[in-house]
Structure 1
Amino acid sequence: MKKMILTGAAFALVVFQLACSKKQGATAPPDNPPAIKQPEPYPGLPLALTNDATRRIEIYDPMAVDWNTADAKKWSWSPTTALGFSTDEINRFGGGTDFKVRKNYAVMSDNGMAAIMTYPAGQRVWAKIISGNVHSAELLPNGNIALAASDGNWIRVYASSQGANSSTYAAFPLGAAHAVLWDPELSVLWVTGQDQSNNAHILTALAVGGTDALPELNEVKQYRVTLPTPWGHEISAYYGNKNLLWVTTNGGEYVFDKSTKRLSMAPTNNLTFVKGMGNQPNGQIVLVRPDANKNPRPPVSCSLNNWSSSTIDFYTAGGQHQGSRIVNGACFYKIKIVYDNYQ
């Protein structure tokens, strides 16, 4: 865990860190959990999960009803020297805070490192040890990587297209920065964080300018909105509607309409502390939420930390709970649809 310095200006950030990823969450009210259902196969794309317990990124088949079987896990990755990673990079990897597949490549972040690799081979293309509690990563179309760091309070775009160890970057200051997602239609980078001048919790967009070798970042202020509840977390594509995005905070889950710049409540019961959320192209919603924030805490749950879960939940497009997949001993933090389209 990162050391926290209590200053008046940082008090709200400390509260957030106690309830956010890589920090312990607050106790949630009773969940009124849905009735237990017999597992059924779910048609759809594979699901990528960052697993703190195994210190690996794992991909599972939603058609498999028991994810504790070998057949359910379709891919597993961690950095190794055989894949081109240094010993330092390997030691900094703890299971991942984000993972996205993009056209024969994948991008990942962890608290103290980030990387671009070939997919599915997993060979190192670019990697860097980075302090600041890196929470999200995105591969831009030009080969550069965008990162969000919650303790570092920044969004950066590294010129990773310029070489396997390139360290040149552009930065945009953003408190408690948690998410980055490229929008090819608008050519902007969607981000969540906190305006350090007035402590507002925001969703906004950044234009990536400059050149591939010397990128620049500037806010497109027309897209800025204040989040309905504090501490923005996830942003993910709403597959099937390019005008919408999934957005989560510590206080709820929302659907963002780009054209109206409005955030409406997501259909999945306004759950709190959702760390990862997305939808299959068929409309089914998948999400992960820390076991520590469930009341009662599930009997099979993550015992390693209070920001992960052994359970992945599935909902219809209308928000009706369909069922779950539970992996004994797993500590899943983030979930992503394995779909190489940005939106």
Structure 2
Amino acid sequence: MSGGAVVLAATLLGVLPAVATPPGTGAGATLDEGSATPADHTVTPAVSPLVQSGPRNIIKRVQDTYVSNTDARDHSTGSVLHIGSPDNGTTRYRSLVQFDVARLKGATIKSAALRLHNSSTGSCAGWWMYAEPVAAAWNEKTVTWANRTAVVPGYQASANFGVGNTGCPDETRPFDPASSNGIKRIDVTATVRAWTKTTDALPNHGFQLSAGELDSKAYKRFCSMNPSASVYACDTAYNTPTLEVEFDATSPVVSAGNSKPVANGGYPADVPAIEFFRSGKVGDGPYQRWVPDAYHSVADPAGKLFPTRGWGGGTDHRLRPAGDYGQAAGDAVMVVADGNSGFVGVIPYPSLSGYKWAYNVGDADVSNVHGAELLPGGNVAVALSRTGTVAVYARSTGDPTSPAPGPAKPLSSKPLEAAHEVLYDPSSKSLWAVGGHALVRYPYDLATGTLGDAESFALPRQISQGKPAPAWGHDLEPVYGDPDRLWVAANAGIVQFSKSGRPGCYKGSERWPLADQMSGDMTSRWCTDYQAEKELNVQPLVKSVGNDPVSGQRLTTCADGCEGSNTTPSYTTSWLRFVTTGGDTKVTRWWDQSQHYRARWMVPGYQ
């Protein structure tokens, strides 16, 4: 990674997006002007929204069934769907599936795919199948071969595959179902675009699925919308028919953990969740939610991941390049830490199903994990605020496929009072961490997974009740667009840190850091020369901060009613605060009872 540049991207629907460099960036410029020497680097864009149909998402699964020429029974409660013919034309099958896409009306649809799990086939050589929009309404309990409706011409989508025969068995992966060879996709972009038009939209009556019915080579069987433990492969909710839609590509993903159980009226039960929003439409509500439950293939039969306390909504989460956990270049994972339960996980993204690594580091009374980071090679670093510790756990410790998990104790640990966040820096092979009094840098040994002696930088003190007091650091993020800078959020406010120590980057501040609390080389480390510092750094008790690498827009959260309304618990907020580099500010929320701690731009890059 020469010059500290990182070129990373996320895979969405198997397509690797181009790395975009926004105007005013790249060689000789930065998103946040003011550095003494502008950096030469490439900017990593935030990913665009991709929603999967599900019970908590804006695309809902509505109904599915299959019909046969040999009977008129109700097949809507079965766990499998059939298409084609298993007996050379004697018995013929077609299937029907329907999704509610009403909340995508008017969205710009970049791509759409119907995801299916193929668990039986008539030919390992593969054969064509088809998905076509249905022309009229149908009911899964009463539709039959005789009364099935026609399809709309001109929208036929097709795919050629076959898995599930003796010569080509389906190989399920319970901890990472998205990587199963039975997962197949059909491009249905044209139909979804037609359904979601604002005018002259095609009526949405779902899809008919079909295949050749004259011989058995085209026959296929899929899991239905009714998962069942008694049917092979169909015991996993990920394998149900799912509509995946990438949309509004110019609206980067914003995510926030919500510790308030959200009334949903269906499965899964009302529980806290990590919520995903379109950055420009937070008020519309989340388009997708994630919970570490059986529905998302996070199984815990032995009670090791949640031994004492339940999931609390996620204290920390961020997107990272998958590295050794990925199947291909561009794969991404979401690293999650939950202070209430002690759960820490590395979750495939954007599938959000299964896990690559998961371990419980101790609940709120034991460790109170506040931050997590993925390290090269698959080890995981955590910040434990209860014990004041930064620790590194081995990849083998949380590997769900390992027959002999690694030791429960960490590979390495270092004391740091009120440790709240960790951040890996590939340019210096270091782990940064922020605590109550200091920002520290630990050299990281890639071979042994151990942390070296800390280089410590005292946080500028704040003035509280007329006296100097600790700043109490809470968050640590890269300044996307300038690999020399880090964002630091604290009880005192927001500041940038220069890793190289750039003279003159401190230009004063109206609230923090104050000039009379700066000494020595602090003025070349703690920087206030970034754009719109006056408009961004206006609040105390800041719990998170970060910037969108494309637009430069910043996102922050604070606590204790700092936006004018109190929430319970007091360290959370219902508001997300956006500030442009020009100083324009928008404070928005989707629900007045939300309890957000940290909010993130979903960017798969370390710096």
Look up the match of 1:271. 539
Instruction: Say whether residues 1:233 and 2:474 are aligned partners.
Output: yes
Shift of 1:327: 2.3
| Bigger proportion of residues as strand | 1
Q: Measure, in 1, the Cα distance between the counterparts of 2:380 and 2:582.
A: 34
Per-residue CA deviation, residues 176-222 of structure 1 (Å, 9 max, x unaligned), is 1001011111111110125xxxxxx11011112163xx42111342x
Instruction: Say whether residues 1:57 and 2:288 are aligned partners.
Output: no
Rate the CA distance shift 1:43–1:291 in 2: closer, same or farther, 3 A: farther
Q: 1:125-144 maps to which residues of 2 (within 5 A)? A: 125-131=356-362, 132-144=367-379
Q: Measure, in 2, the Cα distance between the counterparts of 1:144 and 1:81.
A: 25
**In the alignment, which of 413, 417, 424 is matched to residue 175 of structure 1?**
417
Look up the match of 1:207. 443
**In the alignment, which of 257, 267, 284 is matched to residue 67 of structure 1?**
284
What amino acid maps onto 2:553 in structure 1?
Q
Look up the match of 1:48. 255
Look up the match of 1:338. 602
Shift of 1:44: 4.2
Q: Measure, in 1, the Cα distance between the counterparts of 2:453 and 2:275.
A: 34
Normalising by structure 2, we get a TM-score of 0.44
Per-residue CA deviation, residues 136-177 of structure 1 (Å, 9 max, x unaligned), is 001112111110011111001101256335335211111110
Look up the match of 2:313. 95
CA contact (8 A) 1:285 1:315 kept: yes
Rate the CA distance shift 1:100–1:65 in 2: closer, same or farther, 3 A: closer
Q: 1:112-261 maps to which residues of 2 (within 5 A)? A: 112-120=342-350, 121-131=352-362, 132-161=367-396, 163-164=399-400, 165-166=405-406, 167-169=408-410, 170-194=412-436, 201-209=437-445, 211=447, 214-221=448-455, 224-229=456-461, 230-260=471-501
Instruction: Say whether residues 1:307 and 2:571 are aligned partners.
Output: yes
Rate the CA distance shift 1:44–1:255 in 2: closer, same or farther, 3 A: farther
Where 2:561 maps in the other structure, the secondary structure is helix
Unaligned runs of 5+ in 1: 1-40, 195-200
Instruction: Say whether residues 1:85 and 2:292 are aligned partners.
Output: no
Per-residue CA deviation, residues 251-302 of structure 1 (Å, 9 max, x unaligned), is 11101111115112461134211101100111111111124344xx33xx53
Q: Measure, in 2, the Cα distance between the counterparts of 1:338 and 1:242.
A: 17
CA contact (8 A) 1:79 1:89 kept: no
CA contact (8 A) 1:179 1:192 kept: yes
Q: Measure, in 1, the Cα distance between the counterparts of 2:539 and 2:497.
A: 16
Look up the match of 2:521. none
Normalising by structure 1, we get a TM-score of 0.77
What amino acid maps onto 1:327 in structure 2?
W
Q: Measure, in 2, the Cα distance between the counterparts of 1:263 and 1:42.
A: 35
Rate the CA distance shift 1:161–1:237 in 2: closer, same or farther, 3 A: farther
Higher relative contact order (CA 8 A, sep 6+): 1
Look up the match of 2:556. 287
Q: Measure, in 2, the Cα distance between the counterparts of 1:210 and 1:322.
A: 42
Q: Measure, in 1, the Cα distance between the counterparts of 2:427 and 2:583.
A: 27
Look up the match of 1:324. 588
After TM superposition, the runs of 4+ consecutive aligned structure 1 residues lying more than 6 A away are none
Larger Rg: 2
Relative to structure 2, which stretch is displaced further, 263-272 or 250-259? 263-272
| RMSD between aligned residues | 2.2
CA contact (8 A) 2:488 2:497 kept: yes
Look up the match of 1:19. none
Shift of 1:45: 1.7
Shift of 1:89: 2.7
CA contact (8 A) 1:235 1:245 kept: yes
Shift of 1:88: 5.1
Where 1:175 maps in the other structure, the secondary structure is coil
CA contact (8 A) 1:85 1:124 kept: no
Look up the match of 1:24. none
Rate the CA distance shift 1:249–1:65 in 2: closer, same or farther, 3 A: closer
Where 2:480 maps in the other structure, the secondary structure is coil
CA contact (8 A) 1:204 1:219 kept: no
- State the percentage of identical aligned residues: 30
Relative to structure 2, which stretch is displaced further, 319-328 or 47-56? 319-328
